[in-house]
Structure 1
């Protein structure tokens, strides 16, 4: 029995259905070109997480849903012993190349955020940058996050807010996406401070949360943004794939994504994408 099956059984979740769901998630994130998107648009977010948790030489750091390493690589460059984990190991090839180019040494490990294959209290620091938020069952992911951090260890989470551009984009795509599986929660809720505080509960102290934005100036028009996300971003690709045989729905989603991007400044050449950065200390 896999780690996921074991933990699913103990929480009353249908293990086989959960495995199928996670296989779909892995395929979604492996589609398109998320490593290029991360490098083009949001690489600096990783450094902001690293600055917030301040990993020190010799400390063990786990980056959950690490993608191609925008947190893990800068953390390793500070001398920490880093494990970059992700449900989609297809993203690691780019991460390994970027780490080599930067002179960083770290471990890459396939792992589900809801069933981490690590011992209790085995890390000094745990992080996630727009990653753990996409685990469908928030309580399970939060439980695993807290479980692997030692007493007085540090947690750093950066997530898109529901009210910000990316959160609004998911709202635009929702009518064209399949219904969420039972028990799944919307990813942007991790950008709601009250929700994350509830998930972590009394297992943490010293919670600090702030909202900020990252400036994105890559796109000259709202249409350019839409076309980039249609070819690079797994969740957008998955929604378009679902409606591919319905030209009217495709046209409607095309227009809705353009309208949303235009409302957030895309036609002016500068967009600001809001996120929540939350840090805490394990009790």
Structure 2
């Protein structure tokens, strides 16, 4: 093992300097980013997960907590590491559970509150019941994946994200969908009591999309060991056509829901979701290209086809 190296510690908090932060820290060739955060947090008397570390040149956050500090060229060249207080943190699991719980509770609550929301509410139609079941099951699946499938490279995110993410899901896929879908004047309410062709087509797309999306998430989870931060190149059904088939299948499922709900509010949510997922897919493609020369570069992030370059 090489001799320890002394690294200067500089505070760059967006609010105020971190008190009792040491001026220097010694690292070895076995010291990880998490090791530095733990030691600085202990000395400064602050939760280490609140500390964000970055290099002095590009000011890029060191997101891989298990990466070796000695392998970050910018840090070793300047013998300096930048530290800032990221504010109160919450686990990714906590944030996801809360944001997905909202739509589940909101849609189910309309079974009881419809008479107080609409005049002449009347009973729900077959399409409305089916819409509710599809939306609730979609978010229950997400809760299951959060607890038992997903493996997060980052331990925490800012507590503020709970409110930001929840606003998106609770309003757009919760209140927005529920109010229009379960209205007694909606097209869905006026549909026949039996399953029509649009309902059946929507249900087929929904089941395929949800199962294929789950399969893609399982493939992605197997690229990382429990508690690990390593990256891998995903392969399998869908991954040869686009960067993020999990997003593609998500859109297939929501297309199925849109056919059943027959509501512009579902289309609005789908477009907003697509816009966000397209940004994530572009970042994922950039990360995968930087990961290995053996990666089969994709032209498309979500929608298969030769017409869209990443």
Provide the TM-score with structure 2 as the length reference.
0.24
Give the number of the structure whose alpha-carbon radius of gyration is greater.
2
Q: Which has the higher contact order (CA 8 A, sep 6+)?
A: 1
* Higher fraction of strand: 1
Q: Given the two structures, how large is their TM-score scaled by the length of structure 1?
A: 0.25
